[in-house]
Structure 1
Amino acid sequence: MPTASLQSVVDYAIAHESPWPRSMYYPDGSYVGNVEWNERGPWTEIVGPVAERGGPAGVIMRGGETVAEWGNTARTDMTFSIAKSYLSVLTGLAVADGLIPDIDRPVAETVDGPVFAGAHNGAITWRHLLHQNSEWQGELFGKSDQVDHFRQIGPGADNSRKGQRRTLGAPGSVYEYNDVRVNVLGYALLRRFRRPLPEVLRERIMDPIGASRDWRWEGYENADVDIDGRMIRSVPGGGHWGGGLFIGARDHALFGQLVAAKGSWQGRELIPASWLAQSLAPSPTLPNYGFLWWLNRGPTANPKLPAGSFSALGAGSNVIWIAPELDVVAVVRWIDKAAVDGFCERLAAALA
């Protein structure tokens, strides 16, 4: 049973449920993501699986032990952009395996073909993809990078110009939250591992930490890639057009605890600690962003939260919040995005 102070945090999460429809579609048939991001034009088609969501759910772990839990934490709901942080960890495994010799070298050196062809895309490094400042240009699996030009996220986001083409900068010069470019990273990792990324994640991370066998990572129906004569589906970094990581809160919490423990589990290093340290260093183009992790750093830092805290965030809202200073990992699912800070602030105060 949680303490009274933790119970008030749980009650807050339950009372501030996401306004998203549980079906993921509004009565007029519009997909919730298209409405959320003001998506119009030729790239709105949903090409991956979509599933009805559950209700508020979450887990709070402290010192590696569960101290509070609510809702159906085993339910494998869509998780949207939390998948980006899983891609970050998979990139670290590829580096550790020698599949990516240097993240500051062009991706084109180890991934051939048209995706990284030409002077502009050919100059993009793995670091650029991880920092979301690659400025990659083109179309992948039927979606153009232009779909997320001028995209804004967070409180006060103005997406009135989203999808209007803008002039691109040099790779590494401009931060833009762009799901097509994150999917390019997933594609590049598939080309290096030459195995399905969900298979790598299950074998190297999720099974060793005792995660369930229920989670799955779904790709788009047109995202099959020929790898050594075998068609393998590339997986996206979210549910922007359906698909993505379908997973329960309890499994998210175990993943978060692994990251909080600097990649070690029961004395075994699953993720290099040095990779996680790099992952949580501020990007030069956005000080509150690392390698596909959100940091409590820079001008937007929340002074009520520990400076070293960081998050994996997905629309809806879905959150893995990690605060090493408090030895806490919290997963909160289907909370109103306007209440995310309130949840974390209340939790930090309860544990201080």
Structure 2
Amino acid sequence: MTGEHFVEVLATGPQKAIYEPRRFVILLLGSYGCICSSLSYAFNLIAPEMQSRYDLTGRDISTISTVGLVVGYFLMPYGFIFDHFGPKPIFILSMVLFPLGALLFALSFRGTIEGSVARLSFFNAILTLGCTLYDVVYMMTIMSHFPISRGPVVAILKSYIGLGSAIVGSIQLAFFDGRPDHYFYFLMVLFFVTGSAGFFLVPLPSYHLTGYEEKHLGIEEKERRLARKSVYLRQQPPTIRFAIGIAFVVLLVIYLPLQSALVAYLGWGRTQRIIFASILIAVLVELPLMALPVSCLERGETQREEDDCGGTERPSAGDEVANEPAAAGGPPKKVETDVDYIAPQYQTTFLQNLKTLKLWAFSGVSSPWGGLCL
């Protein structure tokens, strides 16, 4: 390593400000999507019924669960697809894999398909892979929309991944207890709805060029789109919107364990479980509050920038807005680079990184606690 870093000079021409409500709609859809990405744990909720139905041992259940986890961790080929074509192929794959796995589980509980350890392992594998692809596509895409605010974005999205199994478990106990086939039909619909919303409304920002676009777009078009990166680096997202999103996370962190404890220790029946689940659904329906298009949720400087642009036109989610050149003869402006706003990326190749202590130290920490996705 030479210590040399390649920096990118940011465009200085006037551009439209990012429309923050639309950007936070993308984060909102990502929150719902991350809840669905935890649906791989749906298998654990019906494991006792499956064990009794097919006379499976604890070792059989462990095998079925482990096969799903192993398949779900092998993500490198899908990373290549994401880098070259963007998020849409990954959305399509996930919307095929998870509903198919859920449908096969539902049919096995209805008696249409006879279950065995091998078959159930296969069903769980494709279901888990569909969930994991959701995690990848939402996290990678949304972080590109918030390049200087990845901390709160990751905190919100990963929290919903952790809370998702408890959320779905509460709904399952209230409305689908003893009806696992209906439960899987519900998961199919939920997953497909969130996936369809993500497919149409969660694109990469225009400055993020895929491998296919790098090869097929003209030079002028690529320069115009790359110039939009300066806006994403300079415009701070409103803190109040992040605060609302994190407040919902804190509320759910308190509510879900409290609900579970009350139901378990007080022996409450189905009526109480339905009440708790209905309150939970009402809380989830309120998540769009962080994306409301109201001025009180905006930063003052962002609002002024939008007003200076004039008109009511808003950039699309992909921000396909041309970069207008700076006025000729104007005063010289300070040259800014991407390193002024974000830490530089590693400049070494993958093989060179394999020889560094940092990578292996990170791998050693990640493997026992969060799993290392290959």
Structure possessing the higher relative contact order (Cα contacts under 8 Å, 6 or more residues apart):
2
TM range (shorter): under 0.3
Structure having the higher helix fraction is 2
Please, what TM-score do these two structures have when normalized by structure 2? Answer: 0.23
Structure with the higher fraction of residues in strand conformation:
1
TM-score (norm 1): 0.24
Q: Which has the larger radius of gyration?
A: 2
